[in-house]
Amino acid sequence: PGALSEWRRGGEKAAATPAEAAENASFVITMLPSNDHVKKVYKGPDGILSSKGWKQGCLCIDSSTIDPLVSREVNDEVTLAGGAFVDAPVSGGVGGAEAGTLTFMVGGTDANFEHSKTVLNEMGANIVHCGDVGTGEVAKLCNNMVLAISMLGVSEAMNLGEKLGMDPKVLAGIMNTS
């Protein structure tokens, strides 16, 4: 709601549905929280693929972090409707978004990857082609797994250090500078 308010104040019109947002679009970018949301936004009754103004050749870039199989399923539907698709999950956080330094892990054909870079280069500094559709998701899931394991290791080390009498602030300072 806040972002849409800013958008409207800038004189832009917010679409009421994904289908309306996709009308006559050359590119559609989605970034949604779950598999079910992505399926609904693309394939639902008011979804992107139901747009009366669907433009043949429209490139759909999905930056959600979801199951690679869902990306492949959506790719099949978009392709069947005459569009193109890449999965392009992102890392870098809000700071990276504001600075334009995000990393996009892109899965799709060589041609779709090259086409996606015309948009993704405006938002990110690292645009990496991971392979076929779904491999961007695989890269993101593996990256998240490494991060989670690292966080777990830090948590366990901090817990051990404190239990063995170390001041947690001192220990954290050492870990942050070594």
Instruction: Select which of 40, 117, 140, 163 is catalytic.
Output: 140
Q: Are 137 and 159 in contact (CB under 8 A)?
A: no
140 is catalytic: yes
Q: Residue 78: helix, strand or coil by DSSP? A: helix
DSSP string computed for 76-108 = HHHHHTT-EEEE--EESHHHHHHHT-EEEEEES
Residue 135, token pair as written in the block: 């491999």
User: What is the rounded end-to-end Cα distance, in angstroms, of the chain?
Assistant: 43
**DSSP run (H or E) holding 150:** helix 135-163
Catalytic residues: 140
